[in-house]
Amino acid sequence: MKTKDSIITLPQPALRQRSRKVGLITAEVKNIIKDMQAATLDWEDNRKHEVGVALAAVQIDVLLRIVVIRNNFDDKNDRTFLVFINPEITKYEGKIESSYEGCLSILDIYGKVPRHTKVRIKALDIDGKEIRVRAEGFLARIFQHEIDHTNGIVFIDHIQDKQDAFFRLTDTGDLESLDYKAKIESNDQLWATP
């Protein structure tokens, strides 16, 4: 079973690579999904103020287009996930709003990222059946963030030049602004090219 230590972080080059589509949903694919869930929960169990809401397979160094999303990210006791295989956004809707995002693969940095408020998703479930989802609000943001991962994009790429968009989580669980010039602009961990 995978743990929080299985989650790769920048500057690992895999995080900047496109994942491959899943062909057959084999026992191996189902084991990868179990590993993703276990790693997310273990990560959360070691964080005081954060919830592990979702993970893409690339984050455990598996370049397959698989995403798991918590069933209920408002309740840490609900440790179940929905599975989306080969997810794609079929339509962007609503307006674009900026809100805070963090990432299990970017240590201790949060960003204020612009995203669409509504999206439509097409994917396969764990049994290979096609599913379609209309997501809005926080769930729409999660889908955009995770599907970006399957395309080799991390959230900081959307705000690379926005000096006031980077934050860190304090010991009390608050977000405080980061000094862009000192901590972000020439940070080799964040911007290393594969």
Active centre residues (catalytic): 146
Q: Give the Cα separation of 124 and 44 in Å (integer).
A: 26
Cα–Cα distances in Å, from 187 out to 10, 104, 140, 169? 11, 18, 29, 18
Q: What is the 3-state composition of the chain as percent helix, strand, coil, each rounded to the nearest 5?
A: 30, 35, 35
Phi-psi region of 137 (alpha: psi -120 to 50; beta: other; left: phi over 0): left
Q: Give the Cα separation of 154 and 54 in Å (integer).
A: 14
CB 147 within 8 Å of CB 87: yes
DSSP result, 22-79 = P-S--HHHHHHHHHHHHHHHHHHHT-SS----EEEGGGGT--B-EEEEES-TT-TT--
CB 154 within 8 Å of CB 111: no
